[in-house]
Amino acid sequence: MTTLIRGLKRRITKAGRAAAYSPAGSELARAVLASDADSPVRRIIKAKGWDGKIRRLASDNLPQGIYFAKLTLRNWELCKGQQFRLFQDGKVVYGNMVEPPARGYPLEYRNIMVSSDDASRFTVDIDVPFEVKIGRGAFTTPQQLKYDEQYGVEQHGDVFYSLRGDTASPKKMLVTFPGFGPSTTRISYAVSYLKDLTETDLQDTLMVCFQDRYLVAGSYMMVDNAGRPLESRVGGAIEGLRRRFHIDPSNMLFFGASKGGSIAIQYAKDYPRAGLLLAVPQMNLPYYFNKPFFKDNLLQNRSLRDIEQPEDRLRGYFAEGRKIDYFYTNSDELSNHSLIELAADVPNLSKYRINGEHSEVARTALPAMLGVIRRFLNGPVDEVFGCEEMRTFRHGETLQVQVRIDPTGSGITGANWFLGGVQGGHSSCSS
């Protein structure tokens, strides 16, 4: 009798879970999350500590037989720096390089897509204890929940973004996309919020900050958690906001750095009159995915290999004469060796060369990129002031220029300075 009762309870629990994660259950959870943060139901959920559960219910409606998995590696110090792979029935479902987690937290890899809810079918190829948890809803962390609340991330279907600036009657639209965070971070899904932009900067502009909330750390917003194309859904969200506020496409700017730059290239496709601000985007995704961190996860996703690559789409934009500001560094293997430096005689392309590694460009060039954005927001500002000294040097076939500017005299501090030059028949910029 006891065995029968236990079996019945398991069936009831399983049936209840199936109902909760049904399309109707997910829509109800999404409606709750879309309600006012100060509403009674939201206050109750927060007081009970149910935020994570509600968000799991509101996550993707996965096809039957597809699940989210969370892998925890114990004693990871024994394998620090080594590659590992997670297997389901002998087939690789995820792999990465072992790196230290945030201090005081376990080493976790959340939201691995698997096709079994039986944890006994999973193994790893490194000699450390491990645990696999499997569920129908996406796994999250308290840190991610706090981050989403802090930056006002909203869920619209299975597209995620936050809104800043003028949300009533904007005349312009700034669309940003995020880069990658550390692979073991507790906040796997960030937004490019550009906190240095003030409300005054954005007084006439709607800023839409997308979150790449798919797979373990993002999918370049190309596929959802089940591998289904996202382009129409994300593109639909952008166009829906544009139409809602009657924004002319010429008053739109797409921005992203690294992964975010690659995403921006993809989603600017339908807006030839919009501007593009890019920093070290990956130009060929399969090439980039053949790295230790990605070769056993993103590289295995056929949908990401088969899409039109950013380099091909960008060539089309050059041919169209689109307005593009492009920040790069000479030696950048992660962005396919920054082949942008070879582009010449391209109308409306401004190139900004920054010294440093791939990961340093966005941080180093932030003041200059904010200047480009503010020029879009407020229009160009031309000021004339003298310089202390200007010298030229011959170096082989090139002419080098040194200019000394007094920050006090110019009244401009905390900015990157660039010298405009001519390459082919059009302007180019370098640091």
226-239 pLDDT, tens per residue? Answer: 999 999 999 999 99
Instruction: Tell me which DSSP letter residue 29 carries.
Output: H
Confidence label for 1 from pLDDT (cuts 50, 70 and 90): very low
Nearest to 111 by CA among 132, 72, 139: 139
103-112 mean pLDDT:
96
- The shares of helix, strand and coil residues in the chain, as percent rounded to the nearest 5, are 35, 25, 40
Three-state DSSP class for residue 429? strand
- Asked whether the predicted pLDDT for residue 288 surpasses 50, the reply is yes
pLDDT number for residue 6: 53
- Asked whether the predicted pLDDT for residue 430 surpasses 50, the reply is no
Other CB atoms within a 10 A radius of the CB of residue 26 amount to 22
Confidence label for 57 from pLDDT (cuts 50, 70 and 90): confident
Strands 159-165 and 205-211: antiparallel
pLDDT number for residue 58: 75
pLDDT number for residue 428: 45
pLDDT number for residue 13: 56
384-410 mean pLDDT:
75
Confidence label for 429 from pLDDT (cuts 50, 70 and 90): very low
pLDDT one-digit tens code per residue, 242-268: 999 999 999 999 999 999 999 999 999
292-301 mean pLDDT:
92
Share of the chain above pLDDT 90, in %: 66
- Asked whether the predicted pLDDT for residue 381 surpasses 70, the reply is no
pLDDT number for residue 407: 72
pLDDT one-digit tens code per residue, 111-136: 999 999 999 999 999 999 999 999 99
Among 129-133, 341-345, 400-404, the least confident range: 400-404
| Host H or E run for residue 427 | strand 426-430
Provide CB contacts within 8 A for 424, sequence distance 6+.
344, 345, 346
Provide CB contacts within 8 A for 391, sequence distance 6+.
401, 402
**List of E strands, 63-142:** 67-73, 83-88, 91-97, 107-114, 122-124, 130-135
pLDDT number for residue 341: 84
357, with CB counted inside 10 A (0-12, 13-18, 19+), is middle
Residue 41 Cα distances to 54, 149, 349, angstroms: 12, 16, 51
Q: What CATH fold (topology level) applies to the domain 142-378? A: Rossmann fold (3.40.50)
Tokens 């789409």 belong to which residue? 313
Provide CB contacts within 8 A for 263, sequence distance 6+.
177, 210, 212, 220, 221, 256
pLDDT one-digit tens code per residue, 24-52: 766 677 777 767 777 887 788 778 777 77
- Asked whether the predicted pLDDT for residue 12 surpasses 50, the reply is no
**Distance (Å, whole) CA 242 – CA 252:** 9
**Distance (Å, whole) CA 54 – CA 45:** 8
Among 36-40, 82-86, 303-307, 368-372, the least confident range: 36-40
Per the model's pLDDT, the better-predicted residue between 4 and 138 turns out to be 138
The pTM (predicted TM-score) of the whole model is 0.84
pLDDT one-digit tens code per residue, 169-209: 999 999 999 999 887 899 999 999 999 999 999 999 999 99
- For CATH 3.40.50.1820, list the domain ranges present in the chain: 142-378
